[in-house]
Structure 1
């Protein structure tokens, strides 16, 4: 099946039908002619429907109605279930549908029409009836006649067409661009081999709407829930779920059944099951999908049931009707999906039973509808019917369906004996009383829906909606809080909880869900209930990115709805097998081979030994044993979350954005801060980095954090959360709460406030810092931590629960950890974004005067540093492995990890040189040269801070071609010469360019600024003034900016550049007019003149429209506002930075 072609067809068809229907609605609502007046009743119905819902909803409904009908008609044509080809031609040689060809010959099936319709079509085709397009009108009538014929067979899909849907049917049904032609092309014989094509079409039809809703990243409206949550389940997963629930139940009751040979995904229990749900025959089994979508699960269950009936000796001709009458139940909130589910089951029945259409059996698909009955209406109805029947529970039930399309199968009707009540009211004489007729129908609808939701099923199978958090609308959020408190964070988990009382005791439950419920803390109570009160029989955990329809990691699992002490479950782990294609293959391999390395058999009691009860079925028994013989880490250190500012964009900066003298470094408490110090180093988590580092941020803590502590919203509610304040400024061990790989722990010295994402541990004893850091960063601990939190979200609870053999560890020497911290600190501080950066590491080898030799020496130093860390980490791992008696792989040094990026060394060096040019760094004093924000450059001169390397006016032109004596290339080369000397200057520049792979000039003009933005995390400290087409660029240093800087750029550089270009243009004009110039020289001159004209226009516009108005404003900036705010004050004068306006995390 070519699903990509089906997707294009479904999406194109939806857009086409929406457009057609919208145009037709506009026509009928805005036109007053004979044709429209003749259809006034239908037009009035259309207006009323729009008034009661919305125009958009009506358009959507009519569009999908015709899409479903056309697809259904074509499918039946291909399968030859139709009386005559309705969409399909008689053969490939004909283009017109068979039904039209036959009608033109005077043949119309009697079953399809009454005499009036037949005469009308014949008269149109014979010319007796006037029409602008008789064939088109006749064919439209034939399609409507066919739909009305199918109404008696499939009323769920083919409602009687005597309403405005007929008006809104597409006019063009016969051309090659028509919807009929497209349906024929998409639904060819190959695609119609399996009825699941209907499910694929539905998913693809709503896919664009789904993307629109999800990408909005906001509350999902009630009417949008189907589009946001419908996912078509791949066939192999459907087979696994059905075979290990319905199939498993059958095999327990019929252990010698041949059905096992037809179930390739069935996982045979490894131990005997005795307390199973007993059934006498297949007709007893009730299977429900409470979120059935287009019916994929039920369709496959039909196939298995058919084989069961056959085994029991039932006549094959009777089986389809028996299955739909006895076994299969579907519940859905989306009418479209429910229609297609019923249609799919009908097609399965017709496939097996030729005369099924003549039976009166209908698929049992309940599409839940909102039903609202106000209190007085209920009271009046009860008074008329009699109060004996209406218990409090029944009265409450009548109020439970006002939002049925929002809450769906999660509704638990309070009424106890719903079947009895329903039968009694159906037989009541009140149905004939006109005054109560409407109320009576509403009551019956509620009770009929309650039958599905109150029943208990032998087997419950579902791929429920995945939706939680901010996507939940207020009513649904409140409903979950009141009814599913333990699973309120997501609908899928609430469906799992709901399944427990929808399923018989010892019945089977089968689900496909996101796998987060297996691990994270918010689902701990659900796990506990499953492990203690239910029995996990099988589970398949798919590879992280293998379930493309949902774009989230999922698992498929089956549960028996009963507790069994020490029960065993069979688990299959597919995480090592990337790609959707490998998932079924590796599942089958694990099913057929009980010794498969990715198949595990685990007792439920094992999980209950672990903190948080995570289903880490792959965890080695030695790791599990560690919890039994160890203390929790919380006994020896306090793991806590830190400050939530309430608005990081307001209170948090990178340290290099603000005035360095305003930062309170190395303080033991807020009391040590001076009046000029507003900012404190802030541990905000960060990238994977062990031992030391990720010290980039500062937080506003003036007056002991008074502004943050009192940061409230407009209603007076505190937005910030200043928690564990007593631990601020203390040394700690920290980790990033969320990781993309493994967790990494780091030492933080005193002087830091820590963030909610920079969660931290504070050892009870000052002597335990090295011990606990060594323990946390060991391979043993990391393996345990990744097991108890496979979602890579490392909460305080996970860390606190880590099993630490403290007494044994205290006997060991952890001096190697102090060395690891020291080496890691040296690595971190070698970067210029470190708070403790002094100078570029290449300058340690300046005595050699050769940058090439310096790079070689530095490369070796970096390599030695990496090797030393590896050696010390190996010592740490060996200590832990021996104490915990766990085997770990002490891997050899990875050549790739030891590889040195020489280009990055050179780029770092160039960045440092630019910093020297701007006065940010002072190599002589090994410190930051500019600590304050001077109001004018003279202050530098007064302090004797200028030298031959410093750019005096804080403007460095980034313009190639030698137009300026202080352009960036000149200044960089000059500084290299000053630092490394003139002896090897040319060789040094050549070496730099060989590593860059381009000239120094080209790198500086094309790539330097992008590298700078990346290095400084989208908060650059050098700002690029840039004309619209980048002809003119000039860099300034943020910390030397003053209100005259823009004027300096304008007068000292932009205007000077424009003047020089004008002079050159005049010279070229003289050259082009000279009789002494060759034709070739004149042509070249003329071409250059044209380019110069464009450039001058660009510069003039940049000056007049942007730079000059800005210069006159003499803008002041406050460094405390940060780069994001200050940069944007300059608008189009500065080079745009992608993502600069992104909210702070």
Structure 2
């Protein structure tokens, strides 16, 4: 009891100076007793112990005394500490503050601990000019210390300016006209509703990349939930956020919303927030981003996501004007100021002030529509768009592949420069209507960079090869634009200029054992696209883009298709490839490609009997040829080469014999696949096949290349 009384004497004392680095503990780390105590006694700061200590240290301090602390920076911005900020602004004086951000201490890496340090006087001095140092951009303790003395990072102002911010955020570094705009103009929430939507809570079950499922089961263009139900479709476009992308794009996912989300509802876990806004046109963004704030336009037909919320307008006539404001440097500065994390919340967007300037509205809308058009055209240029029509090598086809590529590059550069110019003019207009005079703010900043993909020759060639493989399988056609086949009943009679493979099996081997192997089919495709006269020239150009060695062009192309094509395809399709590579193993004894959407239960049996067995016979014949050279050639060099080739062929033959056993096991099962289950579930049916031999330990073999 004596100790408790002694402790209480310390706790009731007041001090002229209180200085500390308080403990950090968020609400989730507190036990129930501590939570209840803080909720009752420190409602303004209860969310974290460091914030409670800010209050407590001011209590410890004499009136007109000083409090010096280093804490997490979150109290300066987060809505949970708004009342604490009001208390500090109205009853205390910030003498100075060094806003450190991340990397304030050499021993603490990463972005988790973001700090600020400050000295407060424990009473309010009217019209006092506080000194602030902005050091968040510097990534080391020593650099922050050095830049502390740089006047460019110093701001002297009255803390009363924080009363202009929507939730009294400590935005000391921003242009006063930006802060004043919160008072002059209504928030975005007056014109539209930034909304989070459907959360499945089981994305593995209910979400798919659009290219995994049968294309004819996807419902595009629905305008309401009722419309989607009437369509009888199962899958619908879904906003899921994604990489940093502006204006248009990231349309990758579909969600199982059959009959209004029947299966999700049955799971008992889904959350159908703002369902009345589903399928409406809007502006979406990635709520969580490792990069910067990028907004994208989507037309009718999309379901709002949880990680990909949308702004749904009260009046669609304002959508393009407001879109221009949201993608300007003005809004980027506001969002960055209101939220120092990489999570762009609905509440942050709600606060963006909208100056509905009718004088500039038409000009801004024209620029925005141009930016959307350029960005959509660029998005649709690649296979991952469901509106992909054909490869640009076909669109810009010249007498040679090389000339085609350079014409394409001219087009890309023009589009890039046009978009950059549009964004520059747009930023000028937005700055003008908000009276922002920072000269540097007119340019497109690093944090608001152009998000068009600048493709290089190698990527262009690889994407052309991918398109060629798609035509070999009938996914695409030189006769018609867009997807030709992606599920349903395949009909080879729908093709005339370039006929797809009839059995959905294309051998990919290190030697030309089959006339219709993938290299020969690719050569035929290039000839069909560009003509026979320039065939060798075009093959040389394509091959040299893939490899710089001195091998003949067809060998370079064969090496790429055998060793690297599938890996590139897997990467492009986010580890959910639609072309599957059956592979006997690292010796490359046998490989072939098949198209998942044309799969039939008899496919594996046909691979085994029509291709693997024929490959084995070809390998055996090649071994016999090597033996003939070894036994009869008088050339030492020939014998050395034949001996080396034989050793390789023997390894390949042994590999294919083991592979044959696994293929036989699966072929007899006539496995069915369901495209609705997605790539990974179906892919797993052909992996880890257990093969047993009498007297030997069983072995697991993968029929397909690993994902």
Mapped contact 2:75–2:85 kept (Cα < 8 A): yes
Structure 1 match to 2:388: 837
Q: In the TM superposition, what whole-angstrom CA distance separates every residue of 1:776-835 from its partner, at most 9, and x where no partner exists?
A: 112222222222223232211211111111145675442222222222211111111111
Distance 1:803 1:868 in 2: 28
Distance 1:1099 1:457 in 2: 83
Q: Alignment partner for residue 1035 of structure 1, among 593, 597, 611?
A: 593
Distance 2:618 2:44 in 1: 74
Kindly tell me: are residues 1113 and 994 of structure 1, through their superposed partners in 2, closer, same or farther at Cα, counting changes over 3 Å?
same
Give the superposition deviation at 1:663.
Answer: 0.6
Q: Does 1:558 align with 2:127?
A: no
Structure 1 stretches lacking a partner, 5+ long: 1-420, 423-443, 591-595, 713-718, 1139-1145
Q: Does 1:579 align with 2:140?
A: yes
Q: Alignment partner for residue 1113 of structure 1, among 669, 677, 695?
A: 669
Give the superposition deviation at 1:1049.
Answer: 2.7
Please identify which structure carries the higher helix content.
1
Q: In the TM superposition, what whole-angstrom CA distance separates every residue of 1:534-569 from its partner, at most 9, and x where no partner exists?
A: 333322223544544332352231243634145443
Distance 2:523 2:515 in 1: 12
Distance 2:223 2:15 in 1: 64
**Higher mean displacement: 463-472 or 955-964:** 463-472
Mapped contact 1:1023–1:1134 kept (Cα < 8 A): no
SS of 1:627's partner is helix
Q: In the TM superposition, what whole-angstrom CA distance separates every residue of 1:92-126 from its partner, at most 9, and x where no partner exists?
A: xxxxxxxxxxxxxxxxxxxxxxxxxxxxxxxxxxx
Distance 1:726 1:897 in 2: 33
**Higher mean displacement: 656-665 or 1126-1135:** 1126-1135
Structure 2 match to 1:569: 130
Structure 2 match to 1:172: none
Structure 1 match to 2:659: 1102
Give the superposition deviation at 1:1055.
Answer: 2.9
Q: Does 1:1085 align with 2:636?
A: no
SS of 2:387's partner is coil
Distance 1:449 1:904 in 2: 71
Distance 2:703 2:169 in 1: 52
Q: Does 1:690 align with 2:263?
A: no
SS of 1:608's partner is helix
Q: Does 1:529 align with 2:90?
A: no
Mapped contact 1:863–1:900 kept (Cα < 8 A): no
Give the superposition deviation at 1:472.
Answer: 6.2
Structure 2 match to 1:51: none
Q: Does 1:1018 align with 2:575?
A: yes
Give the superposition deviation at 1:920.
Answer: 0.9
Q: Alignment partner for residue 371 of structure 2, among 817, 820, 829?
A: 820
Kindly tell me: are residues 625 and 953 of structure 1, through their superposed partners in 2, closer, same or farther at Cα, counting changes over 3 Å?
same
Kindly tell me: are residues 735 and 906 of structure 1, through their superposed partners in 2, closer, same or farther at Cα, counting changes over 3 Å?
same
Kindly tell me: are residues 981 and 761 of structure 1, through their superposed partners in 2, closer, same or farther at Cα, counting changes over 3 Å?
same
Q: Alignment partner for residue 992 of structure 1, among 517, 537, 542?
A: 542
Structure 1 match to 2:348: 798
Query: For this pair of structures, how many residues does the alignment match?
Result: 676
Mapped contact 1:685–1:735 kept (Cα < 8 A): yes
Report matched runs for 1:889-904 at 5 Å.
Answer: 889=440, 890-891=442-443, 901-904=456-459
Q: Alignment partner for residue 1044 of structure 1, among 602, 606, 626?
A: 602
SS of 2:199's partner is coil
SS of 1:838's partner is coil
Distance 1:788 1:961 in 2: 61
Mapped contact 2:381–2:391 kept (Cα < 8 A): yes
Distance 1:540 1:652 in 2: 45
**Greater RCO, CA 8 A, separation 6+:** 2
Give the superposition deviation at 1:1039.
Answer: 0.9
Q: Alignment partner for residue 1059 of structure 1, among 598, 612, 617?
A: 617
Distance 2:95 2:505 in 1: 71
Give the superposition deviation at 1:464.
Answer: 4.0
Give the superposition deviation at 1:1092.
Answer: 2.7
SS of 2:177's partner is helix
Give the superposition deviation at 1:752.
Answer: 0.6
Mapped contact 1:503–1:561 kept (Cα < 8 A): no
Mapped contact 1:771–1:809 kept (Cα < 8 A): no
Mapped contact 1:547–1:554 kept (Cα < 8 A): no
Q: Alignment partner for residue 261 of structure 2, among 705, 711, 736?
A: 705
Distance 1:1058 1:968 in 2: 18
Kindly tell me: are residues 1091 and 709 of structure 1, through their superposed partners in 2, closer, same or farther at Cα, counting changes over 3 Å?
same
Kindly tell me: are residues 914 and 877 of structure 1, through their superposed partners in 2, closer, same or farther at Cα, counting changes over 3 Å?
same
Structure 2 match to 1:1122: 678
Distance 1:529 1:895 in 2: 42
Distance 2:658 2:41 in 1: 64
SS of 2:264's partner is helix
Give the superposition deviation at 1:518.
Answer: 2.2
Kindly tell me: are residues 921 and 470 of structure 1, through their superposed partners in 2, closer, same or farther at Cα, counting changes over 3 Å?
farther
Structure 2 match to 1:972: 522
SS of 2:271's partner is coil
Distance 2:578 2:523 in 1: 22
Q: Does 1:734 align with 2:284?
A: yes
Structure 2 match to 1:874: 424
Q: Does 1:664 align with 2:219?
A: yes
Mapped contact 2:44–2:84 kept (Cα < 8 A): yes
Kindly tell me: are residues 925 and 536 of structure 1, through their superposed partners in 2, closer, same or farther at Cα, counting changes over 3 Å?
same
Kindly tell me: are residues 1041 and 636 of structure 1, through their superposed partners in 2, closer, same or farther at Cα, counting changes over 3 Å?
same
Q: Alignment partner for residue 913 of structure 1, among 468, 486, 489?
A: 468
Mapped contact 1:460–1:503 kept (Cα < 8 A): yes
Structure 1 match to 2:202: 647
Q: Does 1:857 align with 2:418?
A: no
Larger radius of gyration: 1
Distance 1:922 1:538 in 2: 68
Kindly tell me: are residues 638 and 1050 of structure 1, through their superposed partners in 2, closer, same or farther at Cα, counting changes over 3 Å?
same
Q: In the TM superposition, what whole-angstrom CA distance separates every residue of 1:644-699 from its partner, at most 9, and x where no partner exists?
A: 11222221111111111111100112322356410111111222222222211111
- TM-score, normalising length: structure 2: 0.88
- TM-score, normalising length: structure 1: 0.55
Give the superposition deviation at 1:483.
Answer: 6.3
Structure 2 stretches lacking a partner, 5+ long: 549-555, 689-701
Kindly tell me: are residues 801 and 918 of structure 1, through their superposed partners in 2, closer, same or farther at Cα, counting changes over 3 Å?
same
Give the superposition deviation at 1:481.
Answer: 6.0
Kindly tell me: are residues 1041 and 584 of structure 1, through their superposed partners in 2, closer, same or farther at Cα, counting changes over 3 Å?
same
SS of 2:244's partner is coil
Structure 2 match to 1:392: none
Please identify which structure carries the higher strand content.
2
